[in-house]
């Protein structure tokens, strides 16, 4: 029966391996359980059919055995009645029924074996579904924890990226500060140059500069006076001669 092989494959599969292959166990666990429930319902229906086959085979076997016993009883009665021909007919019928009983016995054994296998598969599948139902909350809890950890890891990665951005920002800030310092220094130098030029001009009008000019004029006057006096003296000497 193909149903036996089909459900034998189902029962031989490892449920944990099935779950490991799921991308999102939290979302798929319910679907897996629904699929297993569907399979269980099919197993139940098929098991019921196999058990019915077993019961029918058992009934036919019992009926055949009863008919054999009945033919044996009638053959015995015919012999006791002195009717050997009727006894032969009853015994011939008994032999046919015994051959038929052999076939019915084999059919019954096959049906009984199939019924046992289906019962085992039904019980095992039902037990696995019960176990998965009891583990479903734990599985979903683990998945929730895993997703939370993934979010934390993602945020952590983003934080690391932010740290790199902050480092870049600090370097840019330092560069901007250096540019500002250089600009301030240049402004100070320019202002100093301008102050020097103005100072040179202002020196012309300072009292100190006027005093120097006055001293210069005084010195020039003195020298001029000395020269004129010397010239006068020389003239006087020339007149006396």
Task: Summarize pLDDT for 14-42 with one digit per residue, the tens.
Answer: 455 555 555 566 667 777 777 878 888 88
Question: Are the CB atoms for 34 and 154 separated by under 8 Å?
Answer: no
Task: Summarize pLDDT for 98-139 with one digit per residue, the tens.
Answer: 999 999 999 999 999 988 888 888 888 888 888 878 777 777
Task: Summarize pLDDT for 174-227 with one digit per residue, the tens.
Answer: 776 777 777 777 766 666 555 555 556 555 555 555 666 777 777 777 787 777
Higher pLDDT, 217 or 85: 85
Q: What is the Cα–Cα distance from 93 to 102, expressed in whole angstroms?
A: 14
Highest mean pLDDT out of 50-54, 71-75, 128-132, 193-197: 71-75
Instruction: Answer whether residue 89 shows pLDDT above 90.
Output: yes
Q: Give the pLDDT of residue 1.
A: 47
Instruction: Answer whether residue 62 shows pLDDT above 50.
Output: yes
Question: Are the CB atoms for 143 and 25 separated by under 8 Å?
Answer: yes
Q: Give the pLDDT of residue 5.
A: 57
Task: Summarize pLDDT for 142-180 with one digit per residue, the tens.
Answer: 767 767 776 777 766 655 555 555 566 567 667 767 777
């Amino acid at each position: 029966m193909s149903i036996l092989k089909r459900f034998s494959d189902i029962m031989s599969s490892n449920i944990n391996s099935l779950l490991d292959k799921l991308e999102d166990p939290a979302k798929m666990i319910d679907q897996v359980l629904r699929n297993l429930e569907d399979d269980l319902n099919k197993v139940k229906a098929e098991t019921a059919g196999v058990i019915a086959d077993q019961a029918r085979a058992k009934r036919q076997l019992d009926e055949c055995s009863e008919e054999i016993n009945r033919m044996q009883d009638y053959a015995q009665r015919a012999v006791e009645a002195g009717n050997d021909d009727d006894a032969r007919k009853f015994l011939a019928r008994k032999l046919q029924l015994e051959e038929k009983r052999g076939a019915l016995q084999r059919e019954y054994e096959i049906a009984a074996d199939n019924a046992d296998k289906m019962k085992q598969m039904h019980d095992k599948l039902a037990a696995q579904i019960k176990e998965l139902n009891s583990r479903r909350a734990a599985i979903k809890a683990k998945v929730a924890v895993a997703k939370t950890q993934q979010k934390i890891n993602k945020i952590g990665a983003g934080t690391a990226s932010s740290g790199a951005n902050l480092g870049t920002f600090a370097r840019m800030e330092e560069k901007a500060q250096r540019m500002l310092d250089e600009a301030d220094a240049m402004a100070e130098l320019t202002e100093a140059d301008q102050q020097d030029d103005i100072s040179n001009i202002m020196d012309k009008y300072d009292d100190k500069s006027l005093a120097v000019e006055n001293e210069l004029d005084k010195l020039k006057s003195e020298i001029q006076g000395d020269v004129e006096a010397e010239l006068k003296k020389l003239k006087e000497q020339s007149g006396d001669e």
